[in-house]
Amino acid sequence: MNNMIIANAYKSDNNNLLKDAQHDLYGRHVSKIFEAAKFKLIQADSILNANFLITKKARDIDSFDHRILQNAHDIIAAAYRYRYDDGGQLNLFRRDITIQDYYKIEWARWFDKELDSLLGYSLFVRAVVECVIYPNSNLGHAAEHSICYILISHYNIEDWGYPDSYVKIYK
């Protein structure tokens, strides 16, 4: 079973309903991270007519161990909660949908936009593909570290996240 690690990433990160909604979409989103990066790499390789070995290897991947991108996903999820958590407050104007479904819809919508933005970082794209292609190797671990470092910097997590969590591990 694919699982998001449900933990507190910052002070007041205690909206378990939002975390559960993110957890429910974890498998889909982790797959999207790789598939989107893979597509972007293949597209760039095609434009350049480069025929990189990494592109050939990426094309051949149709499944991978989700844990490779787990921290990356969880950092993105923490950034969403930090920016948009409403504390689970009941919205009287949202009567036709449960709060859990509302969280899923909003999280998925933001995630897709955010992933599109992250794909603008060529280092992010390459690192995502490398960590999946070279799992459990020095190159794969370096790529995982690179992804999380990029995300920590992108979201300025050192300013709001617990200093002993992702910031300590990847800075």
- Look at 22-26, 35-39, 60-64, 85-89 and tell me which has the smallest mean pLDDT: 85-89
Tokens read off for 64: 């991978």
Residue type, 170: Y
Could you give the CA distance from residue 59 to residue 38 in angstroms, rounded to a whole number?
A: 7
Could you give the CA distance from residue 68 to residue 138 in angstroms, rounded to a whole number?
A: 13
- Look at 13-27, 84-98, 116-130, 137-151 and tell me which has the smallest mean pLDDT: 84-98
* Cβ-proximal residues to 117 (8 Å cutoff; 6+ apart), any chain: none
What is this structure's pTM?
A: 0.92
Backbone dihedral region for residue 67 (phi beyond 0: left; psi -120 to 50: alpha; all else: beta): alpha
Domain ranges of the chain: 16-86+93-170
Q: How large is the greatest C-alpha to C-alpha distance in the chain, in angstroms? A: 55
